[in-house]
């Protein structure tokens, strides 16, 4: 039981990393990784939303869509669920902790468009995960996303001062770096 | 009369980049000599051809960017990268494999980032991983070592293998790491008795190659080319994990600590790759963490992953994490209290 869950978690964080192996959630990965601090804020917010969205989309699918035979509506319903979760999180954080809201505030609306969030919700259905597995899979995906986002941000701060040829400066060298990181992550293949 | 004002430090260190690179090249000699003795002169052809391509690519990029070509090439760093890549590649590799490897190392991993001193990933290991993923067949045909092969190829054979690959037919053999990776039902004692390639510790030939690189590495340490932290942390972590999961040498054993230290690219990686001053962590504490995590990843991927040897992957993954490690292990600046980030 415990072993099964840890395999699920390690699989989602390292072996099938959502960014570097499954290539989901690339927009925030490239867009919010220029500074380490913003990357940390983004990864905190994403972790919170992704875990919550994975759980609530599971509930929506199994409690509403499946009994009514509306399984084909899952994509559009999940988009709605994710938007609601993000909006709810934003409101809750703003009322309960203005400090946290100042740290996360800008990034929260951005998460709505993070395809990793929708990806996790859909993959949970495809892989026929139960509730706890869905929750863990969402958390693992978020942890893997946060890990590579934060490491990538630290690396891009160093790249900013490198003597990169002009044609490759900025996002281009970021893409190449992400490619090389993806190459390195292939080493985890077969781990679980 | 001009009075030049030069700021401190006024004492010049005796080690220039060129001298460091020459020392690294010299330090590979014992390991390369062992490779030549056990696997034939293929590695020498590898080094020559890869160096040629590496210098050509580096010169082309420098010319394109309008940088001084000869003065930059004089730092020998392209030759060092090429040599390290060539040692890691299987001997008797075809010339195009070496050319692609040199291109990935020099163009992709080094010059796109601005050349020596800016590359976030170790260029030789990027070249190796690109080849390993793109050409798995060519990358997993290792020559059989002296004592097990009928005869070790000569220099003519080696040149033939490189430039007319179709006509070369050498004896190949699974490496000791492959053998251990594929074993699932035999205890270690039975496996060692049944397979002559495993030799006494790390595999016939491999153990002496590893000891050769260890000797070269210790000489570099003595010359002050790098500090002891990262290699020692890596070897200690690898040995500790191997001891922890030795499991009495049963069928589920991951191999003895001595096997892991003296087989595959462990010693070569520890002293020639992990110690790369550009792509590793810089602070003392950071280097300990960096080295130890490489050791952990090597053991994990060797025993659990799809690839039999893991040094290149482990190093690249930790190269990726090095800037982050540095960020959190900045040494305390003099005069500031602990935990007081300036």
Residue A28 inside a domain? The answer is yes
Q: Within a domain: residue A26?
A: yes
- Judge whether B319 and B121 are in contact, CB under 8 Å: yes
Q: Are residues B216 and B167 in the same domain?
A: no
Within-domain flag for A4: no
Q: Does A167 touch chain B (CB under 8 A)?
A: no
Q: Is B70 among the domain residues?
A: yes
Same domain, B185 and B320: yes
**Is the same domain home to B169 and B179?**
no
B10 part of a folded domain: no
In a domain, B227, yes or no: yes
ipTM given for this complex: 0.89
Name the 3-class secondary structure at B118.
coil
Residues B133, A183: C-beta atoms closer than 8 Å: yes
Using the Cβ of B63 and the Cβ atoms of chain A, whether some distance falls under 8 Å is answered with no
Scan residues 33-62 of A and list those with Cβ closer than 8 Å to B.
Answer: 36
CA neighbor of B235 nearest in space, from B267, B200, B265: B267
In whole angstroms, give the CA distance from residue A69 to residue A67: 6
Based on the domain organization, do B274 and B163 belong to the same domain?
A: no
Q: Domain count of chain A?
A: 1
Higher pLDDT, B36 or A108: B36
- Choose the mutation target among A183, A185, A192 for the interface with B, i.e. most B CBs under 10 Å: A183
- Identify whether B5 is part of a domain: no
Q: Is residue A2 part of a domain?
A: no
Q: Do B232 and B306 sit in the same domain of this protein?
A: yes
Same domain (yes/no): B64, B194: no
- Could you list the residue range(s) of the whole structural domain that residue B208 is in? 175-327
- Same domain, residue pair B169 and B184: no
- Are residues B100 and B179 both part of a single domain? no
Q: Spell out the residues 6+ positions from residue A87 whose beta carbon is closer than 8 angstroms to its own.
A: none
**Chain A touched by B114 (CB under 8 Å):** yes
Average pLDDT (B298-325) is: 89
Domain termination residue (choose one: B173, B191, B225): B173
Q: Specify if A98 maps to a domain.
A: yes
Clarify whether residues B181 and B323 are in a common domain. yes
Residue at A171 is within a domain: yes
A88-108: average pLDDT: 79
Q: Which residue has the higher pLDDT, B298 or B246?
A: B298
- pLDDT tens-place string over residues A35-69: 888 888 888 888 888 999 999 999 999 999 888 88
Q: Tell me how crowded residue B192 is: count the other CB atoms within 10 A of its CB.
A: 20
What pTM value is reported for the model?
Answer: 0.89
pLDDT digits (tens, 9 = 90+) for A135-192: 999 999 999 999 999 999 999 988 888 888 888 888 899 999 999 999 999 888 888 7
Distance of alpha carbon A25 from alpha carbon B56, whole angstroms: 39
- Model pLDDT, residue B342: 47
Chains A–B, number of C-beta pairs less than 8 Å apart: 90
Q: Are residues B92 and B206 in the same domain?
A: no
Q: How many CB atoms lie within 10 A of CB B76?
A: 19
For residue A180, being part of any structural domain is answered with yes
Q: What percent of chain B has pLDDT over 70?
A: 94
In a domain, A13, yes or no: no
**A158 interfaces chain B, CB cutoff of 8 Å:** yes
Residue A121 belongs to what domain range?
18-185
Secondary structure (3-state) at A156:
helix
Domain count, chain B: 2
- Report the pLDDT value the prediction gives residue B318, as an integer from 0 to 100: 94
């Amino acid at each position: 039981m415990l072993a099964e869950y840890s395999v699920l978690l390690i699989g989602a964080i390292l072996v099938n990393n959502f960014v570097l192996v499954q290539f989901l959630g690339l927009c925030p990965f490239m867009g919010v990784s220029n500074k380490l601090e913003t990357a940390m804020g983004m990864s905190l917010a994403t972790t919170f939303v992704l875990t919550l969205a994975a759980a609530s989309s599971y509930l929506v699918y199994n409690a509403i869509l499946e009994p009514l035979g509306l399984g084909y509506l899952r994509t559009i319903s999940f988009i709605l669920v994710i938007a609601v979760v993000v909006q709810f999180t934003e409101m809750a954080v703003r009322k309960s902790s203005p400090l946290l809201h100042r740290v996360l505030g800008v990034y929260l609306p951005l998460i709505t468009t993070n395809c990793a969030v929708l990806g996790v919700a859909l993959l949970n259905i495809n892989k026929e995960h139960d509730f706890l597995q869905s929750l863990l899979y969402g958390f693992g995906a978020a942890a893997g996303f946060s890990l590579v986002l934060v490491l990538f941000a630290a690396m891009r701060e160093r790249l900013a001062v490198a003597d990169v040829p002009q044609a490759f400066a900025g996002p281009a060298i970021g893409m190449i770096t992400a490619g090389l990181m993806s190459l390195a992550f292939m080493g985890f293949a077969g781990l679980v | 009369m001009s009075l030049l004002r030069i700021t401190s430090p006024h004492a010049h260190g005796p080690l220039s980049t060129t001298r460091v690179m020459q020392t690294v090249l010299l330090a590979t000699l014992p390991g390369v000599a062992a490779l030549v003795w056990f696997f034939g002169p293929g590695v020498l052809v590898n080094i020559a051809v890869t160096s040629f391509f590496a210098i050509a690519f580096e010169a082309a990029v420098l010319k394109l960017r309008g940088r001084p070509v000869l003065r930059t090439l004089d730092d020998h760093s392209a030759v060092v990268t090429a040599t390290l890549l060539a040692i890691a590649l299987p001997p008797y590799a075809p010339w195009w494999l070496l050319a692609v490897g040199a291109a990935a190392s020099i163009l992709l991993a080094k010059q796109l980032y601005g050349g020596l001193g800016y590359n976030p990933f170790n260029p030789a290991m990027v070249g190796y991983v690109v080849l390993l993923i793109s050409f798995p067949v060519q990358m997993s045909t290792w020559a059989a070592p002296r004592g097990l092969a009928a005869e070790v190829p000569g220099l003519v054979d080696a040149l033939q293998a490189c430039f007319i690959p179709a006509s070369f037919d050498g004896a190949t053999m699974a490496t000791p790491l492959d053998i251990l990776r594929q074993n699932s039902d035999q205890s270690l004692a039975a496996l060692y008795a049944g397979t002559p390639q495993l030799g006494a510790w790390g595999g016939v030939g491999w153990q002496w190659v590893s000891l050769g690189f260890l000797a070269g590495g210790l000489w570099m340490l003595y010359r002050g080319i790098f500090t002891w932290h990262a290699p020692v942390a890596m070897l200690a972590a690898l040995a500790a994990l191997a001891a922890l999961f030795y499991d009495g040498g049963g069928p589920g054993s991951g191999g003895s600590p001595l096997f892991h230290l003296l087989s595959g690219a462990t010693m070569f990686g520890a002293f020639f790759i992990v110690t790369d001053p550009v792509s590793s962590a810089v602070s003392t504490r950071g280097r300990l963490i960096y080295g130890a995590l490489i050791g952990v990843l090597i053991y994990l991927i060797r025993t659990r992953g799809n690839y039999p040897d893991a040094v290149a992957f482990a190093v690249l993954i930790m190269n990726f994490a090095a800037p982050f490690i540095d960020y959190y292990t900045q040494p305390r600046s003099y005069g500031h209290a602990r935990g007081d980030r300036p």
